[in-house]
């Protein structure tokens, strides 16, 4: 598939590729080991304009194509999945405002998100409401000119560090998903605070935790769209951001393959590089097949979005499912190529495998994605 990017977008991808080698890759192991949010990487993405890619120029962004955003996420994830996730979640948290916000809301929030001065979060998941959004228990009660939020969100990326939080809450539990509304909650609102911070298996530099709402008053001006449209906004957002997770998985897989190939060229056993052994050659070939197939699916859905295709829900689900499953298989095989060394934290492939696992889970588990695909087939 021929990749269609504008000249300036090709230049951006090339710049990011260099930044990854010079700045991101040397920090990746330390970010994982410390398990702390990498503010230096956030500043790097902000100063280079990378965080502005998903935002229209009128709001201070670059107005980049979806394909170029996916390619940049891929490049970042080759070295550090945590750093790639900063861009993914900036788009995820801001997209509901872009899709459903008023012009006043867009002018109020988007420029400072595009510049990277502010970070965003997307708060949908709850302890009893993951794949089943209709079981949501966070409530929003209209009182005069305000909505009063009460409840708990968990597994929220950028919890406690985001300035702008897109929060989904129900205004009528009897209506299920049709009772859900979307709100923008600024981090300094009284009654809103961070709860538990999670200690995770992978993407350890990304801060994941709980958001707690206790009589948190937000103005009616912070409602996105109309009451009851929250679930529709949430699904439309995930359709458009799910390919970013596919691109993250693709980058992780490509990074693991690249390292495994370099190692196989250098590692000598029985008097020759292990790359000369047919067994290793076949493993690497299968890994390459998986990576290249994932790339075609990811780039395809990016081009569909750029062409304003009427629907790409199925293609988005396919790309995310295949790429994340491939990332698990490829990183597992990369560890096998390295043998005992692959199991050691001195080498990056064990980190890549830990990072890859979450791509099968967040922004809709792969089981949910298969349901989405099956429903598309049924139509």
pLDDT tens digits, 280-304 = 999 999 999 999 999 999 999 999 9
Chain region(s) in the chain for CATH 2.40.110.10: 120-228
CA-CA-CA-CA torsion sign (275, 23, 348, 318): negative
* Torsion on CA atoms 227, 165, 77, 31, rounded to nearest 10: -160
The first and second tokens of residue 348, run together, are: 């990056």
Rounded mean pLDDT, 177-183: 96
Sequence-distant (≥ 6) Cβ neighbours of residue 238 within 8 angstroms = 363, 364
Options 3.30.1540.20, 3.30.60.50, 3.90.1150.10, 2.40.110.10; which CATH number does 120-228 get?
2.40.110.10
Residue 2 has pLDDT above 60, yes or no: no
Backbone angles phi, psi at 252, to 5 degrees: -60, -45
With contact defined as beta carbons under 8 Å apart, do 84 and 77 qualify? yes
To the query of whether residue 117 is one of the catalytic residues in this protein, the response is no
* pLDDT at residue 6, as a whole number: 86
Residue 369 confidence (pLDDT) above 70: yes
Percent of the chain with pLDDT over 90: 95
pLDDT of residue 1: 54
pLDDT single digits (tens) 332-346: 999 999 999 999 999
CA angle 66, 70, 74 (to 5 degrees): 170
Gap between the Cα atoms of 339 and 324, Å rounded: 23
Whole-Å CA distances, 173 to 133, 135, 169, 210, 297: 11, 8, 10, 21, 38
CATH 1.10.540.10 residue spans of the chain? 7-114
Instruction: Indicate which residue of 66, 75, 315, 363 is catalytic.
Output: 363
Question: Which pLDDT value is given to residue 130?
Answer: 85
Tens-place pLDDT, residues 141-150: 999 999 999 9
Q: How confident is the model at residue 157 (pLDDT cuts 50, 70, 90)?
A: very high
CA dihedral over 366, 371, 373, 374, signed as positive or negative: positive
What's the average model confidence in pLDDT over 320-329?
A: 98
CB 366 within 8 A of CB 324: yes
Predicted confidence at residue 376, as pLDDT, reads 95
Q: Inform me whether the pLDDT recorded for 71 exceeds 90.
A: yes
For the chain, residues classed under CATH 1.20.140.10 are 231-378
Locate 328 and state its tokens: 């698990």
Rounded average pLDDT over 157-183:
96
Q: Which CATH superfamily is domain 231-378 in?
A: Butyryl-CoA Dehydrogenase, subunit A, domain 3 (1.20.140.10)
Mean pLDDT of 264-276: 97
Does the pLDDT at position 133 exceed 90? no
| Topology adopted by domain 7-114 | Butyryl-Coa Dehydrogenase, subunit A; domain 1 (1.10.540)
Return the pLDDT at 3.
65
Confidence at residue 4, expressed as pLDDT on a 0 to 100 scale: 75
């Amino acid at each position: 598939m021929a990749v269609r990017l504008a000249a300036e977008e090709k230049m951006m991808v090339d710049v990011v590729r260099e930044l990854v080698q010079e700045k991101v890759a040397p920090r990746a192991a330390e970010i994982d080991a410390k398990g702390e949010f990498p503010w230096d990487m956030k500043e790097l993405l902000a100063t280079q304009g990378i965080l502005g890619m998903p935002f229209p120029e009128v709001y201070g962004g670059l107005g980049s194509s979806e394909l170029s955003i996916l390619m940049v996420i891929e490049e970042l994830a080759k070295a550090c999945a945590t750093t790639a996730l900063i861009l993914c979640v900036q788009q995820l948290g801001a997209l509901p405002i872009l899709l459903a916000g008023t012009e006043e809301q867009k002018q109020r929030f988007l420029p400072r998100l595009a510049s990277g001065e502010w970070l965003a979060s997307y708060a949908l998941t709850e302890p009893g409401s993951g794949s089943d959004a209709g079981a949501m228990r966070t409530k929003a009660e209209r009182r005069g000119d305000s909505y009063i939020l009460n409840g708990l969100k968990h597994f929220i990326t950028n919890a406690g560090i985001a300035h702008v939080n897109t929060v989904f809450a129900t205004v009528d539990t009897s209506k299920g998903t049709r009772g859900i509304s979307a709100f923008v909650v600024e981090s300094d609102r009284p009654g809103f605070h961070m709860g538990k911070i999670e200690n995770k298996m992978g993407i350890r530099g990304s801060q994941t935790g709980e958001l707690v709402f206790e009589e948190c008053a937000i103005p009616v001006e912070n409602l996105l769209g109309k009451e009851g449209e929250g679930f529709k906004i949430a699904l439309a957002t995930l359709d458009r951001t799910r390919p970013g997770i596919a691109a993250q998985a693709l980058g992780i897989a490509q990074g693991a393959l690249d390292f495994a190939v370099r190692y196989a060229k250098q590692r000598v056993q029985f008097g020759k590089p292990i790359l000369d052994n047919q067994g290793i050659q076949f493993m690497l070939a299968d890994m390459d097949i998986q990576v290249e197939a994932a790339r075609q699916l990811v780039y395809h859905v990016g081009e569909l979005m750029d062409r304003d295709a009427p629907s790409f829900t199925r293609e988005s689900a396919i790309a995310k499912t295949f790429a994340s499953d491939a990332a698990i298989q490829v990183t597992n095989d990369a560890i096998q190529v390295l043998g005992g060394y692959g199991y050691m934290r001195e080498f990056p492939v064990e980190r890549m495998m830990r990072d890859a696992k979450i791509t099968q889970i967040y922004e809709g588990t792969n089981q949910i994605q298969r349901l989405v695909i099956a429903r598309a087939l049924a139509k």
